């Protein structure tokens, strides 16, 4: 086997075990498990850790380097990618939310796509606009259904009275 590695784990074994039991994500569990194994003396070689966790030795080396540099906080820090900057933002976003809230609204998501291109100069895909309006703005297109001109107002009132009662 490889040569034993030397690393000083500053946290007490009981703390690591308790943290491991309370960890909610696999990300934290793997890393805390590694530290607990080292602290409790169950593992002496980097290769053993990589075999038990199913990770490459290079990953284990990177985790240990993080721990050496910044301690437990650096090892358990979860970094998140910033993601793309939304195309609809600022003044355009305000205009869109106002228009969606107004009685005029939009008849379809295609109409929103056309409006964004004409009013704001944004060329966007239909599905992108639909997801943005539904998920981010949590707005729905408010267009009343057309009513028949032949419908009698008394029939509507009667229907509402009879359908409301259980």
The residue that leads in pLDDT, 37 or 86, is 37
Predicted confidence band of residue 141 (pLDDT cuts 50, 70, 90): confident
pTM beyond cutoff 0.85: no
Higher pLDDT, 160 or 30: 30
Kindly report, residue by residue over 81-108, the tens digit of the pLDDT. Answer: 888 888 888 899 998 988 888 878 888 8
The answer, yes or no, to whether residue 35 has pLDDT greater than 60, is: yes
**pLDDT exceeding 90 applies to what percent of the chain?**
49
DSSP string computed for 22-63 = H--SHHHHHHHHHHHHHHHTS---HHHHHHHHT--HHHHHHH
Q: What is the pLDDT of residue 34?
A: 93
d(CA 103, CA 142): 8
Contacts within 8 Å (CB) and 24+ apart, 27-33 = 27/76, 27/78, 28/76, 30/55, 31/63, 31/75, 31/76, 32/76
Q: Which of 47, 48, 82, 46 is nearest to 67 (CA)?
A: 46
- Among 27-41, 59-73, 148-162, the least confident range: 148-162
CA distance 93 to 116: 10
Nearest to 60 by CA among 45, 71, 74, 49: 49
């Amino acid at each position: 086997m490889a040569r034993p590695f030397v690393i000083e784990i500053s946290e007490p074994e009981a703390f690591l075990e308790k943290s491991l039991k309370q960890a909610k994500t696999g990300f934290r569990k793997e890393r805390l498990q590694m530290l607990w194994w080292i602290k409790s003396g169950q593992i002496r070689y980097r290769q053993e850790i990589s075999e038990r966790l199913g990770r490459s030795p290079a990953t284990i080396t990177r985790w240990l380097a993080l721990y050496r540099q910044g301690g437990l906080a650096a090892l358990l820090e979860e970094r998140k990618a910033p993601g793309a900057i939304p195309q609809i933002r600022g003044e355009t976003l305000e205009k869109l939310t106002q228009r969606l809230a107004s009685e005029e609204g939009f008849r379809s998501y295609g109409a929103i796509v056309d409006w964004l291109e004409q009013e704001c100069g944004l060329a966007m895909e239909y599905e992108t606009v639909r997801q943005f309006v539904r998920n981010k703005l949590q707005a729905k297109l408010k267009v009343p259904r057309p009513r028949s001109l032949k419908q009698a107002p008394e029939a509507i009132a009667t229907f509402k009275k009879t359908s409301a009662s259980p």
